[in-house]
Amino acid sequence: MQARLGRLSIADAVTTANASLGFAAAAAAFVSPSLSARLILLGAIADGLDGVLARRYGSSEAGPMLDSLADVATFAVAPALLTFALARGLWGFDPVRIGTTLLVGAVFVGAGVLRLGMYAAHDADDYTTEGVQTTLAATLLAALLLAEATTTGSVLWGVPGPALAVAATGVLAVAMVVPVTYPDLLAGDALVLGGVQALAVLFPRALGSAFPLALLICALAYLFLSPQFYWRAD
């Protein structure tokens, strides 16, 4: 085991840190949803960074598997628990609504696992992939919470309780497994998005929550427009 660990790369270390952030985000969901959302976004930054490091310095044979395992923690389990924590905090023990939220969260995690498995098996070496990326789905949910919470102080814009978060979680669960082709971001665009994510993590309340709102707009634009209007040269 020690010899195998010695063959891991710096990219693998960042990937492992991403998994740890996923645990921290899941635990924080029941204490501070805002902190949980920021940790998920920090994990998204780490997810982009490990790819850059892998291309620059190389990766180990375990790298792709480690990446998928870390993504399950940070971009499937943590966002589902964040939505559940919001619902539990505001709806209490309402059996119908809490049961629905639990089911939606379970479907989201299952869809994320399927999405990551299919990517590792079929799309890892391509510039396109089918279905909404787990990183994008998690980023949308985290940005939605941060943008709303820092703007209005309530849970979700005028919608009773966390209903919008639950609905968004369900829609994104389906979106992760639909046969819609999404292109990978060009390096420059990925760097810009990472910068916006970092600003949303560091300054969620600055300028009227401008950075979480900007991140939400960018993520929504990619979600709806990139299959038709975004392209990249191989």
- Report CA torsion sign: 196, 198, 201, 206: negative
Q: What pLDDT is stored for residue 234 in this prediction?
A: 45
pLDDT band at 125; cut points 50, 70, 90:
low
Beta bridge partners of 68: none
Whole-number average pLDDT of the chain:
85
Q: Could you tell me the fold of the domain covering 2-229?
A: Four Helix Bundle (Hemerythrin (Met), subunit A) (1.20.120)
User: Residues 86, 33: contact at Cβ < 8 Å?
Assistant: yes
Tens of pLDDT along 62-108? 667 888 899 999 999 999 999 999 888 888 888 999 999 999 999 99
Torsion of CA 200, 202, 207, 208, to 10 degrees: 60
Q: What is the pTM of this model?
A: 0.90
User: What whole-number distance in Å separates Cα of residue 41 and Cα of residue 181?
Assistant: 23
User: What whole-number distance in Å separates Cα of residue 87 and Cα of residue 209?
Assistant: 23
